[in-house]
Amino acid sequence: MNPIQWQIQATDGNARAGTITTRRSVIETPVFMPVGTQGTVKGVRFEWLENELDARIILGNTYHLFLRPGPDTIRQMGGLHSFTSWDRSLLTDSGGFQVFSLTDLRKLTEEGVEFRSHLDGSKKFLSPEVSMEIQAALGSEIVMAFDECPPGDAGHERTRASLELTARWAQRSKDRFFDLQAAGMDAGLKDGFRQSLFGIIQGAGHLDLRRESLDRTVQIGFDGYAIGGLSVGEEKSVMYEVLDFITPQMPTGAPRYLMGVGTPEDLIEAVSCGVDMFDCVIPTRNGRTGSAFTSRGKLNIRNAKFIRDDSALDPECDCSVCGRYSLGYLRHLYQAGEMTASMMISHHNLAFFLSTMRKAREAIKASSFQDFRREFLSKLSQNDGKGV
Amino acid sequence: MNPIQWQIQATDGNARAGTITTRRSVIETPVFMPVGTQGTVKGVRFEWLENELDARIILGNTYHLFLRPGPDTIRQMGGLHSFTSWDRSLLTDSGGFQVFSLTDLRKLTEEGVEFRSHLDGSKKFLSPEVSMEIQAALGSEIVMAFDECPPGDAGHERTRASLELTARWAQRSKDRFFDLQAAGMDAGLKDGFRQSLFGIIQGAGHLDLRRESLDRTVQIGFDGYAIGGLSVGEEKSVMYEVLDFITPQMPTGAPRYLMGVGTPEDLIEAVSCGVDMFDCVIPTRNGRTGSAFTSRGKLNIRNAKFIRDDSALDPECDCSVCGRYSLGYLRHLYQAGEMTASMMISHHNLAFFLSTMRKAREAIKASSFQDFRREFLSKLSQNDGKGV
């Protein structure tokens, strides 16, 4: 049985509105997936994600969960769903991206990558096979192939070498993935549906290499396709150029996932190119530093002008934070070092990202996506240069 | 009109089950009041306090709110209810206790106390009059008189001098309080009901002075009476001796409030003596350090034996944390430094304190309080000495 069913409900230009049906939930796209690095979304309880924000899928992080509490513990606790009690869909990354961020700590070979744990300095090893084994123990609905992610400014030769390695690792990922499924090692098995496996397109800012990476990944064949290696330090124009070039060439019959991106502008631009899925830490990371995303752009809660402001973070937002709490109160909580400030700004930011995707979806279905995009981006720039 | 209506539904020995009806909520006693020091209960959103935990009253802290954001800001935002959006009852302390905890920072005179802000070192002044003015700006349902709290081990002479000062300050508090009510300075006015004012009994561990303080406080006359100066470093036996002695002598026709106390054992012992109201920071403070209160005693979430434990913090607790999350998962979140660990253990601890008071209330109404007390305390000691 197909582990995910991908259906397109509407297209508008390159933009697509669809549904991904997994063994655990129906995901309406375009979709923003909140990041639950260590098995929890920072500062936001699952109850809010389910009941109010209605997130149908969240991420788990293979690198972090590998180190703590470890795949053996999670497997023994029945997989990541059972361990965390999150019973909707999970996507797990491969761990590669985090390891390659530890530049000083790794030794890369054809076989895989050796690194030292950032927690205790102990030696660890990740490879396509190990990543697949961990992700089987996590039991996520969407498993990511183990790839190498070169720096955003890598030259042509370095990038080509990297994508060749990524292609070989993609095949090894797929081989090991299916062995594990056949051996019943998927801890998240439900109703006989296996995990799904997504391949990753690399190639940095080199369009010819992006195309080559796409071809090689599709040739191996996956349940969905991701664009990796963007928003890793390159110019924004490079990212948009790559998205514009590669997304419409990706298979229409599978979901398209832009990894680790990005701002609300980035999301809308990528949807316009035909991307269906996103994840990014910024709603919760910025929430913890008092930075709110709103329909009129970013807002810094520390700004003294908010001291006695009784309006909402975003008067156009219908989340439980904006419906109840004032800027002045949230600023007070932030200045006073109260955890509830981080919790509530993170909550609002996630609400904004999720509802932006829902509005994009409605616009695509109504064939008015380009109008929506223009208005959304224009409104978003209203706070620019106002020192907020 | 009486600002609070106090009704006794049942008594069992000295223990009482009653209701305090304020302009904003009906409070069933015995009651534990969660502490919202800076206008928020640390780590627990109001929505949980209202919808699940059903707290009918929480505390606000005059010292902290005086310094930040300041009474002018809160008054301009419509009072503490309007500023925070908490629309049930509020009790505000007088600020005295915090100031007297700043031993090196204060200068005490008959007029009041001068101190330096712990935030920026600026000079501040609190007196009965200033405290009443701040609490009027906060607009709480229950205002506390401004008292001096001597150290728990203060000698007889020092304690007598302190209670005499407290008595003079109580009268000044009352005078200024009624001037402010008459002048329409209560920011929380609702349906014509004024704030209520509680007097505080001091006297440290000296029973004769406790009695004298009680008499003088009752002579001035208040809407309710509090026992201050306990759980401030004295032996636990001293606290129980004082409670045993003074509580039954307090007016039956008004609520009795034991300030800043305490552990679940302390609460049950004090209810047995006839106390109706409690507040304490330990459910949330301990929650943030991974210490959980359960029906079988305290539990330290860091304990390695919980790594793969799939049972609840407290299998007898019906809160949303215990109904869903395992010890193993909560331990993982705590060890990983995730905010959700603090949030959820604080949440459970509050649920445990509030439900313990509800069970005590039911037992009093069923004339089985002593049985309840014996079983509760016996069960509570089950984890003792087990290294949890």
Q: How far apart are CA A211 and CA A233, in angstroms?
A: 21
**Record: contact B38-A307, CB cut-off 8 A:** no
Residue B306, token pair as written in the block: 């919980």
Domain boundary among B235, B259, B279: B279
Least confident of A105-109, A224-228, B12-16, B92-96: A105-109
Chain A's closest residue to B64, CA to CA, is A336
Residues making up chain B, counted from first to last: 388
Same-domain status, A155 and A196: yes
Same-domain status, B164 and B224: yes
Q: Max Cα separation, chain A? A: 62
| A195 three-state secondary structure | coil
Phi/psi at A244 (nearest 5 deg)?
Answer: -60, -40
Write down the pLDDT at residue A81: 98
Least confident of A105-119, A200-214, B170-184: A105-119
Same-domain status, B275 and B329: no
Q: Is B54 a catalytic residue?
A: no
Q: Kindly report whether the peptide bond that precedes residue A78 is cis, defined as omega within 30 degrees of 0.
A: no
Same-domain status, B237 and B140: yes
Same-domain status, A59 and A175: yes
Minimum-distance CB partner of A68 among B47, B336, B343: B336
Chain A's closest residue to B76, CA to CA, is A308
Contacts of B330 (CB under 8 A, 6+ apart): B301, B306, B313, B321, B341, B344, B345
Domain boundary among B279, B300, B333: B279
| B150 three-state secondary structure | coil
From the candidates A12, A147, A276, A279, which is the catalytic residue?
A279
Write down the pLDDT at residue B387: 46
**Record: contact B83-A329, CB cut-off 8 A:** yes
On average, the pLDDT of chain A sits at 96
pLDDT (mean) for B111-115:
94
Same-domain status, A73 and A91: yes
The answer to whether A193 and A3 have CB atoms below 8 angstroms apart is yes
Minimum-distance CB partner of B47 among A46, A320, A335: A320
* Chain B neighbors of A339, CB-CB under 8 A: 42-43, 339, 342-343
Contacts of A70 (CB under 8 A, 6+ apart): none
pLDDT digits (tens, 9 = 90+) for A199-233: 999 999 999 999 999 999 999 999 999 999 999 98
Annotate A313-347 with b (16+ C-beta within 10 A) or e (fewer). Answer: bbeebebbbbeebbbbbbbbbbbbebbbbbbbbbb
**Record: contact A85-B42, CB cut-off 8 A:** no
The answer to whether B196 and B254 have CB atoms below 8 angstroms apart is no
The answer to whether B99 and B206 have CB atoms below 8 angstroms apart is no
**Record: contact A324-B85, CB cut-off 8 A:** yes
* Chain A neighbors of B39, CB-CB under 8 A: 329, 332-333, 336
Minimum-distance CB partner of A38 among B68, B310, B338: B338
Chain B's closest residue to A64, CA to CA, is B336
- Of B118, B225, B123, which is closest to residue B166 (Cα–Cα)? B225
Residue A36 lies in a domain: yes
Q: How far apart are CA B115 and CA B324, in angstroms?
A: 47
Q: How far apart are CA B207 and CA B163, in angstroms?
A: 13
Least confident of A44-53, A111-120, B343-352: A111-120
Is B386 a residue whose pLDDT tops 60?
A: no
From the candidates B147, B186, B276, B279, which is the catalytic residue?
B279
Other beta carbons less than 10 A from residue B231's beta carbon: 17
> How far is B46 from chain A, CA to nearest CA, in Å?
10
Interface of B with A (CB under 8 A): 38-47, 64, 68-69, 73, 76-78, 83-85, 307-308, 310, 320, 324-326, 328-329, 332-333, 335-336, 338-340, 342-344
Same-domain status, A341 and A193: no
**Record: contact B326-A77, CB cut-off 8 A:** yes
Residue B111 lies in a domain: no
**Record: contact A338-B42, CB cut-off 8 A:** yes
Q: How far apart are CA A278 and CA A259, in angstroms?
A: 6
Is B384 a residue whose pLDDT tops 70?
A: no
Q: At B10, which CATH number?
A: 3.20.20.105
- Sheet architecture: strand order including B113-116: B106-108, B113-116, B123-126
Contacts of B106 (CB under 8 A, 6+ apart): B99, B100, B113, B114, B115
The structural domain count of chain A equals 2
The answer to whether B126 and B66 have CB atoms below 8 angstroms apart is yes
Q: Which residues pair with B144 in a beta bridge?
A: B198
Instruction: Return the C-alpha torsion angle B18, B21, B25, B28, nearest 10.
Output: 0
Minimum-distance CB partner of A308 among B45, B73, B324: B73
Residue A358 lies in a domain: yes
Angle between helices B207-220 and B236-246 (to 10 degrees): 50
Please state whether beta strands A113-116 and A123-126 pair in parallel, antiparallel, or not at all (unpaired).
antiparallel
Angle between helices A236-246 and A207-220 (to 10 degrees): 50
Same-domain status, A222 and A338: no
Q: How far apart are CA B240 and CA B254, in angstroms?
A: 21
Write down the pLDDT at residue B102: 78
Helix spans in A120-190 (H): 128-138, 156-182
Domain boundary among B255, B279, B303: B279
Residue at A371: amino acid letter: D
Minimum-distance CB partner of B45 among A85, A307, A343: A343
Interface test with chain A among B41, B42, B44, B45, by most A beta carbons within 10 Å: B45
Is B76 a residue whose pLDDT tops 80?
A: yes
ipTM: 0.97
Same-domain status, B191 and B270: yes
Contacts of B176 (CB under 8 A, 6+ apart): B128, B129, B132, B133
Interface test with chain A among B46, B301, B339, by most A beta carbons within 10 Å: B339
> How far is A236 from chain B, CA to nearest CA, in Å?
32
For A68, counting Cβ atoms within 10 Å of its Cβ (0-12 exposed, 13-18 middle, 19+ buried), the class is middle
Is A130 a residue whose pLDDT tops 90?
A: yes
The answer to whether A112 and A60 have CB atoms below 8 angstroms apart is no
Residue A19 lies in a domain: yes
Contacts of B104 (CB under 8 A, 6+ apart): none
Contacts A–B by Cβ distance under 8 A: 110
> How far is A27 from chain B, CA to nearest CA, in Å?
24
- Of A198, A187, A196, which is closest to residue A81 (Cα–Cα)? A187
Instruction: Return the C-alpha torsion angle B373, B379, B385, B388, nearest 10.
Output: -120
On average, the pLDDT of chain B sits at 96
Residue A120 lies in a domain: no
pLDDT (mean) for A371-375:
98
Task: From residue B148, give the alpha-carbon distance in Å to each of B94, B167, B203, B226.
Answer: 10, 9, 10, 13
Residue at A361: amino acid letter: R
Interface test with chain B among A38, A40, A347, by most B beta carbons within 10 Å: A40
Instruction: Return the C-alpha torsion angle A7, A9, A12, A13, nearest 10.
Output: 20
Residue A113 lies in a domain: no
Least confident of A344-353, B51-60, B91-100: B91-100
pLDDT (mean) for A299-328:
98
Q: What is the domain range of residue A361?
A: 286-383
**Record: contact B340-A68, CB cut-off 8 A:** no
Annotate B361-376 with b (16+ C-beta within 10 A) or e (fewer). Answer: bebbeeeebeebbeeb
Same-domain status, B250 and B296: no
Instruction: Return the C-alpha torsion angle A111, A115, A117, A123, nearest 10.
Output: 80
* Chain B neighbors of A307, CB-CB under 8 A: 69, 73
> How far is B340 from chain A, CA to nearest CA, in Å?
5
Contacts of B147 (CB under 8 A, 6+ apart): B94, B96, B166, B169, B170, B200, B202, B228
Q: Which residues pair with B143 in a beta bridge?
A: B92, B197
* Displacement of CA A129 from its chain's centroid (Å): 22
Write down the pLDDT at residue A104: 65
Residue B108 lies in a domain: no
Q: Max Cα separation, chain B? A: 62
Contacts of B225 (CB under 8 A, 6+ apart): B198, B199, B200, B201, B214, B217, B218, B250, B251, B254, B255, B256, B257
Contacts of B59 (CB under 8 A, 6+ apart): B33, B34, B35, B36, B37, B90, B91, B92, B93, B279
> How far is A85 from chain B, CA to nearest CA, in Å?
7
The answer to whether B214 and B163 have CB atoms below 8 angstroms apart is no
**Record: contact A68-B39, CB cut-off 8 A:** no
Residue at B27: amino acid letter: I
Same-domain status, A183 and A44: yes
Chain B's closest residue to A320, CA to CA, is B47
Same-domain status, A252 and A197: yes
Write down the pLDDT at residue B104: 65
| B210 three-state secondary structure | helix
Q: Is B93 a catalytic residue?
A: yes
Minimum-distance CB partner of A45 among B64, B83, B343: B343
Residue given tokens 């991206």 in the structure block:
A97
From the candidates B12, B93, B147, B276, which is the catalytic residue?
B93
Interface test with chain A among B332, B334, B347, B350, by most A beta carbons within 10 Å: B332
pLDDT digits (tens, 9 = 90+) for A259-288: 999 999 999 999 999 999 999 999 999 999
Minimum-distance CB partner of B339 among A42, A84, A332: A42
Residue A109 lies in a domain: no
Least confident of A111-125, A216-230, B247-261: A111-125
Return left, alpha or beta for B3; rule: phi > 0 is left, psi -120 to 50 is alpha, else beta: alpha
Least confident of A296-300, A378-382, B337-341: A378-382
- Of B179, B175, B219, B225, which is closest to residue B199 (Cα–Cα)? B225
pLDDT grade, residue A387 (50/70/90)? very low
